[in-house]
Structure 1
């Protein structure tokens, strides 16, 4: 892996048609409107796109808070008719995507969409936008090897993403994630056309989040920033043809900037947001900004082992019901799922990019004493943080034991889109060892 100062000009002779190493990286993000009260201006924003009939997608919990109705009122002030669909499932599935698409098809057509909620609502809206605009079925667009990874053939409708949790960064990214129920695995759809038209980030919408949700969502930010910062450097990949360029291109100079800034914000505000979030708007603002910045980083650079492991951990859940979340069925929140193997994953990836791992540890915990074993610096920072904010102690704390590890490994190995971004080659043996060593983290 290359260090932070690698010069793009070092990657090869740009004039040589036979060059085999990659010399190009891509970066993209939607326009951003950020700040207290930003969500009250969405009517004006969507009116600029000529929208006259809009579907607002949210989940029952957010709907009960009245936030979607406030946005409907804003839309109607600008002559836009809006309908609310509040059937989004927290941790969406192929079935919940299908239900949302069915509703949108039956009640449409629509000139645009507004997603209000966490990553589940935003991801559902991305899928609805795709499947009501382009031909085909859900599995046509799901990433390989689970789906066919079909490319959307046309521009989608305007989509405004309004996050109500500081975590997923989905308002910045060009992918959506879902559980495939029949396979008990998470996967996703990834293409630049899915990226929202506008991200509207209003920190006031997060003030009432329970501490447990704040902690889990915040660990998603941490993993986004760390995984993309330590991802394989973009120029260390083989040369791609233009039509082969993927959303996750590897760590690069632009994504690095956003990840570093996100980690700095996390260091100063994450613990405060968990323990005192109801009365600390500054901490809430910092965490919303960190989520957006990390989304701008990982949405282009990519994530790797912790997220790849997180998909089967969430998809194969048995009886675990986390505090602060709906209790009607078992679930491992996404932010918890990706964090549970992170300490061990970064022990594994350390040799490929020691400077990156040490710099990340310094950004997340500037005052942390230096350990004699540098490979332990980042894992120790993570464990200290996770213990402080109440994250479960490894995959054992959410219901998995030694005997479950062989069943989890295949789910991880299906996430080749993510694993290919790891700075070290990783196979079944390495994933099994990481999972076993993550049954308890402390």
Structure 2
């Protein structure tokens, strides 16, 4: 009886085993000759010919055009007039509709005689239902151009409304990322979208990503496609002046972990299989030389300036630098992607609505909420203790930034690879303490009994888990065992 054909997972396990026998560090190329030889030897054992999965060999950088400066929101009326906009759909939330950013945008549109209508029902931490409300509104209001004025929730909702206004008959799940949705490609040209961020956090003005919560599934997911990217991000330094301290902190933590995760994601060349056509190359591709520059600059500025904003919301220089950091981090993770802390944040936020029902102080909402940046930070120390062995030198660079010293300092240079993870765990925990972040999952109401559900909610987040060191670069590894350990280590610290 002939042997069964080799499965893809068995092939990938062989590839991984041969690579890691040579060197366990995904950034090291040493010993590659022996690894290839061993791999070919193992493939010869198969009686049935197989195709060796090909690794990625290229990366792409795509970001919105950006305008940065004091009061630049006053120019958007001219932008839309230049684009000959027939009717602008201005998306915002109820908390912003009467504040400087929206007032300025409306004045700019009216000054240029640009027709517009306002949708001000965007939900903070949007759900499938709130997206459907915005989509239905947009489909019936003959919108030719979109303007998002708000934080990530507003910008992501406007992206979704734009997409489903063009795809009038599509179902929400047609474009939501697999395996939750179908993840269909976007082949039609969307309408022009301009984004004015009002928080220094998500970087959504630079990316093609839109995130939503699906309460029935108890986790978040989203749509990631370059076609969603705004054509222009207008970063007005006055637009974050109305943020409460807690919003500044949560948004800033999102910047911090965008930068940390994109810098430590598996290298783009470790992704497999290579796309059969450039149009199938994903938005999140793994760390690369260009994203590294943006991510590290954003990380350095955030570590320096977020504590300053936390202590003094009138510190204009610090707020300005945080807006720049947010934008830089958006460009970095917009191509490199994020991984574990973000992947686990989605069920942490989602399960809260029916589980702990924690409500973060300082947020003007009536429903339970663990703000996105907080939900990401809760697992941060444990995540980077886990990822440190994958690339000790990169994690030493990060550790040096948190400690405010040079990487050549003896305390960093002499640190053994085995000690990098624990040291970075402590450094991140101390930084979060200085901002008053809850010390672990127990502080927001989760217990050890919730771990399995949180893991179940993380497993479907393949677009980010597949970029996680120790998971995305290990064939056949779904991450369940590691996720359980990280979440257990995040209950308290």
TM-score norm. by structure 2 comes to 0.84
- Aligned position for 2:348: 313
1:130-209 equivalence runs, <5 A: 130-134=163-167, 135-209=169-243
- Aligned position for 2:464: 418
Assess if the C-alpha contact under 8 Å between 1:171 and 1:195 holds in 2: yes
- Structure 1 CA distance for aligned equivalents of residues 306 and 28 of structure 2: 25
Instruction: Using the TM superposition, give the Cα deviation of residue 430 of structure 1 relative to its aligned residue in structure 2, in angstroms.
Output: 0.9
2:307 to 245, 267, 271: 271
1:243-258 equivalence runs, <5 A: 243-258=279-294
Instruction: Using the TM superposition, give the Cα deviation of residue 19 of structure 1 relative to its aligned residue in structure 2, in angstroms.
Output: 9.2
- Highest CA radius of gyration, 1 or 2? 2
Instruction: Using the TM superposition, give the Cα deviation of residue 229 of structure 1 relative to its aligned residue in structure 2, in angstroms.
Output: 0.2
Assess if the C-alpha contact under 8 Å between 1:29 and 1:195 holds in 2: yes
2:337 to 275, 292, 302: 302
- Aligned position for 2:433: 387
1:107-122 equivalence runs, <5 A: 108-122=141-155
- Aligned position for 1:349: 387
- Aligned position for 2:400: 362
Asked if residue 284 in structure 1 is aligned to residue 311 in structure 2, the reply is no
Cα deviations across residues 368-410 of structure 1 (Å, max 9, x unaligned)?
A: 9646722223222211111011111111111100111111111
Cα deviations across residues 211-245 of structure 1 (Å, max 9, x unaligned)?
A: 11111111111110000000000011222222431
Task: Provide structure 2 residue ranges, at least 5 long, that are not aligned to the other structure.
Answer: 1-24, 31-35, 37-51, 472-477
Assess if the C-alpha contact under 8 Å between 1:231 and 1:302 holds in 2: yes
Instruction: Determine helix, strand or coil for the equivalent of 2:438.
Output: coil
- Structure 1 CA distance for aligned equivalents of residues 114 and 489 of structure 2: 54
Assess if the C-alpha contact under 8 Å between 2:64 and 2:232 holds in 1: yes
- Aligned position for 2:481: 429
Assess if the C-alpha contact under 8 Å between 1:3 and 1:356 holds in 2: no
Assess if the C-alpha contact under 8 Å between 1:3 and 1:355 holds in 2: no
- Aligned position for 2:158: 125
- Structure 2 CA distance for aligned equivalents of residues 332 and 53 of structure 1: 36
TM-score norm. by structure 1 comes to 0.93
- Structure 1 CA distance for aligned equivalents of residues 427 and 241 of structure 2: 26
Assess if the C-alpha contact under 8 Å between 2:256 and 2:303 holds in 1: no
Of 26-35 and 317-326, more deviation after overlay is shown by: 317-326
Asked if residue 222 in structure 1 is aligned to residue 256 in structure 2, the reply is yes
- Structure 2 CA distance for aligned equivalents of residues 88 and 293 of structure 1: 25
Asked if residue 438 in structure 1 is aligned to residue 466 in structure 2, the reply is no
Count of aligned pairs: 430
- Aligned position for 1:260: 296
Task: Provide structure 1 residue ranges, at least 5 long, that are not aligned to the other structure.
Answer: 7-11, 13-17
Instruction: Determine helix, strand or coil for the equivalent of 1:60.
Output: coil
Assess if the C-alpha contact under 8 Å between 1:93 and 1:179 holds in 2: yes
Assess if the C-alpha contact under 8 Å between 2:201 and 2:251 holds in 1: yes
- Aligned position for 1:15: none
